[in-house]
Amino acid sequence: EAQVTQNPRYLITVTGKKLTVTCSQNMNHEYMSWYRQDPGLGLRQIYYSMNVEVTDKGDVPEGYKVSRKEKRNFPLILESPSPNQTSLYFCASRRGGANVLTFGAGSRLTVL
Amino acid sequence: GQQVMQIPQYQHVQEGEDFTTYCNSSTTLSNIQWYKQRPGGHPVFLIQLVKSGEVKKQKRLTFQFGEAKKNSSLHITATQTTDVGTYFCAEGSNYQLIWGAGTKLIIKP
């Protein structure tokens, strides 16, 4: 089944403890992206990647890192999480040249 | 930068009533996409509009793209409980989507 898989789905952590949210897609998509969703603010893009080894900042990149060493994987790294990074995170992918995104199921992160 | 304004933020309807959400931009949109997010779920693509004045239908859902390509609407006729969720519009480019804030459809008990 074509899908985007995120892990973990739920995580409670403490301030300053490094964490990684993994994202993997099995559709051979070139483009991948991370969003955060907060009440009343809709979806805000954190980082995106047009292809392997190509990443760029979205609208809210502060406090996050990403890497794209393989086409299928696009992990989101929080080096020193803070409470304002408590949010619902979505990974998404699409074919190069297409606009339509396929989303993962989401990862709900709470930073205490 | 480019913004897509979506209204209303919430809409409460009785089951069987109609629902409409609107997206507006001050600049011409290259295209407009619509997504639905069920409660506790993730956004799912519904449709993409590209042409000026385009109208597309999916059963009880009607999507319109304005003649000037600066606005779009999604209209649901005779809402059902399965329609509950948040509807987002977004303009797509090669690099990113510019998202509206979403309209939450709530069915009154």
Residues from chain B that touch A9, judged by Cβ atoms under 8 A, are: none
CB contact under 8 A, B93 and A40: no
CB contact under 8 A, A99 and B97: yes
CB contact under 8 A, A33 and B96: yes
User: Is the bond preceding A61 in cis, omega lying within 30 degrees of 0?
Assistant: no
CB neighbours of residue A35 within 10 Å = 29
- Higher-confidence position of A40 and B46: B46
Which range (A69-73, B43-47, B62-66, B92-96) has the least confidence? B92-96
CA-CA distance, B37 to A49, in Å (whole number)? Answer: 23
Which range (A95-99, B46-50, B73-77, B102-106) has the least confidence? A95-99
User: Which of B66, B72, B11 has the alpha carbon at shortest distance from B46?
Assistant: B72
Strands B71-76, B61-65: pairing kind? antiparallel
- What does the pLDDT read at residue A100? 85
- What does the pLDDT read at residue A41? 83
pLDDT confidence tier of residue A39, bands split at 50, 70 and 90: confident
Å from B29 to nearest chain A CA?
14
CB contact under 8 A, A99 and B33: yes
Which range (A41-50, B21-30, B55-64, B87-96) has the least confidence? B87-96
pLDDT confidence tier of residue B73, bands split at 50, 70 and 90: very high
Q: What is the mean pLDDT of chain A?
A: 94
User: Which of B103, B55, B54 has the alpha carbon at shortest distance from B83?
Assistant: B103
pLDDT in tens, A45-93: 999 999 999 999 999 999 999 999 999 999 999 999 999 999 999 999 9
pLDDT of A7 > 80? The answer is yes
The residue-averaged pLDDT of B67-89 equals 97
Å from A18 to nearest chain B CA?
25
The residue-averaged pLDDT of B99-108 equals 94
The residue-averaged pLDDT of A26-38 equals 95
Q: Among all chains, which residue has been given the structure tokens 């449709």?
A: B47
- What does the pLDDT read at residue B1? 58
Angle at B21 between CA B18 and CA B26, to 5 degrees: 150
φ, ψ of residue A83 to 5 degrees: the values are -55, -30
What 8-state DSSP symbol labels residue A73?
B
The residue-averaged pLDDT of B86-93 equals 90
Q: Among all chains, which residue has been given the structure tokens 């060493």?
A: A69
User: Which of A100, A103, A49, A4 has the alpha carbon at shortest distance from B93?
Assistant: A100
If DSSP codes are grouped into helix, strand and coil, which group holds residue A35?
strand
CA-CA distance, B30 to B49, in Å (whole number)? Answer: 9
Helix H or strand E segment including B87: strand B85-92
The residue-averaged pLDDT of B11-18 equals 97
Structure tokens at B30: 């290259």
